[in-house]
Structure 1
Amino acid sequence: MAPYRMSPSELAELKKQLEELLEKQFIRPSVSPWGAPVLLVKKKDGSFRLCVDYRQLNKFTIKNKYPLPRIDDLMDQLRGATVFSKIDLRSGYHQIKVKAEDIQKTAFRTRYGHYEYQVMPFGVTNAPAVFMDYMNRIFRPYLDHFVVVFTDDILIYSRTHEEHEEHLQTVLQILKDKQLYAKLSKCEFWLEEVKFLGHVISKDGVSVDPSKVEAILLWEPPKTVTEIRSFLGLAGY
């Protein structure tokens, strides 16, 4: 597929982000026969996310059926907890390396050249399953005891402050050993009440986050398949 058309301001942003990805060694120049187009998607804070349209690659990908956990099952584990900490990994997918033989499949085309990812990119169909499997494996001894993992979100929960200190040290040591990095601005520690996966959790129990209910009530009636999927995703969350 040919590169998508972009405005001059979008091209400037694209060039900037490509330079950053190259500097971090997340991507490298490519001579791959694969080549997906890219686009910029505006985020809530007004900045842009570089997205690769991997729809053609995904059509030929054998799907990984690793299950994502049910949110209500995760919430059931939290009964009796009184203190919480929440850790958000920084660009979690980009902390997983792509197998050497698969790197060429991640290639994408831009006005500024042909590149491929050396780390797991957003948009490939199996990325959520691969990442969830990895996170569950490294935290398996502590799941159902004091850790909840949902993709790149980690919740540590404890019955007492003394337990929590020990639990928090355990989780942070695992992240250090595996060289996984958190985004400090999105992390919260030693909370009596925490918002996690669309719920508010405290010693009094688990309830639906009021802001999620309000968002559903204010949602415009969906008119397209995409809008219906977006609504169902929010309602299910």
Structure 2
Amino acid sequence: MEVVKKKVIKLLDARLIYPISDSPWVSPVQVVPKKGGMTVVKNEKNEFIPQRTVTGWCVCIDYRKFNNATQKDHFPLLFIDQMLERLARHEYYCFLDGFLGYSQIPISLKDQEKTIFTYPYGTFAYKRMQFRLCNAPATFQR
């Protein structure tokens, strides 16, 4: 639970979320292990088996029910080969790294309540687009 608390404080400090009292759109928070490298260990039969090492924890919001109820945006996403083909025709090009890409996109006030998540220390809504929202890639692509 301490991992979630630290993440919430970080999001509050960055002004990406804000406390909210209630909404019919509450999604649960899950904590999953971050996968690191691989290691090999012996099992009870003295056989070597590969095993992933955990390097930390990732706080995720489970938007599956919300995403199932969302009307999908079918904006076409470019394939990498299409983008490279377009770039190949030009002498110069620029590389831009969208720092916290989705978080650059504001969520309309009326839709912020749909991003609500809750955990024992409070209930919060996002002000900015987040991963795991089904229309985030199409919105970002535009």
Aligned to 1:26: 16
Residue in structure 1 matching 2:134, options 116, 121, 125: 125
The answer as to 2:113 corresponding to 1:104 is yes
Aligned to 1:12: 2
The root-mean-square deviation of aligned C-alpha atoms, in Å, is 2.1
Classify the secondary structure of the residue corresponding to 2:70. coil
- CA distance in structure 2 between the partners assigned to 1:70 and 1:112 by the alignment: 42
- CA distance in structure 2 between the partners assigned to 1:116 and 1:53 by the alignment: 14
Looking at secondary structure, tell me which structure has more helix per residue: 1
- CA distance in structure 1 between the partners assigned to 2:11 and 2:103 by the alignment: 10
TM-score by length of 2: 0.76
TM-score by length of 1: 0.47
* Unaligned segments of structure 2, at least 5 residues: 38-54
Q: Aligned AA for 1:121?
A: Q
The answer as to 2:114 corresponding to 1:70 is no
Classify the secondary structure of the residue corresponding to 2:95. strand
Classify the secondary structure of the residue corresponding to 1:109. strand
- CA distance in structure 2 between the partners assigned to 1:102 and 1:75 by the alignment: 35
Q: Aligned AA for 1:24?
A: A
- CA distance in structure 2 between the partners assigned to 1:119 and 1:65 by the alignment: 21
Aligned to 1:35: 26
Structure 1 residue 48 displacement after superposition = 3.8
State whether residues 52 and 122 of structure 1, in contact with CA within 8 Å, keep that contact through their aligned partners in structure 2: no
Aligned to 1:226: none
Q: 1:27 to 1:70 in 2, by over 3 A?
A: same
Classify the secondary structure of the residue corresponding to 1:50. strand
Aligned to 1:114: 123
Looking at secondary structure, tell me which structure has more strand per residue: 2
**Following superposition of structure 1 onto structure 2, how do residues 190-201 of structure 1 map, counting pairs within 5 Å?**
none
Structure 1 residue 33 displacement after superposition = 2.0
* Unaligned segments of structure 1, at least 5 residues: 1-10, 134-237
Residue in structure 1 matching 2:62, options 47, 50, 53: 53
**Following superposition of structure 1 onto structure 2, how do residues 81-230 of structure 1 map, counting pairs within 5 Å?**
85-133=94-142
Q: Which has the higher contact order (CA 8 A, sep 6+)?
A: 2
Q: 1:118 to 1:112 in 2, by over 3 A?
A: same
Q: Aligned AA for 1:22?
A: L
State whether residues 16 and 103 of structure 2, in contact with CA within 8 Å, keep that contact through their aligned partners in structure 1: yes
Q: 1:43 to 1:115 in 2, by over 3 A?
A: farther
Classify the secondary structure of the residue corresponding to 1:88. coil
Classify the secondary structure of the residue corresponding to 1:32. coil
Identity percentage of aligned residues: 37
- CA distance in structure 2 between the partners assigned to 1:95 and 1:78 by the alignment: 25
Q: Deviations over 1:39-82 (max 9, x none)?
A: 23426593543221100001110000001002221121233667
- CA distance in structure 2 between the partners assigned to 1:93 and 1:79 by the alignment: 27
State whether residues 105 and 128 of structure 2, in contact with CA within 8 Å, keep that contact through their aligned partners in structure 1: yes
Q: Aligned AA for 1:124?
A: L
Aligned to 1:6: none
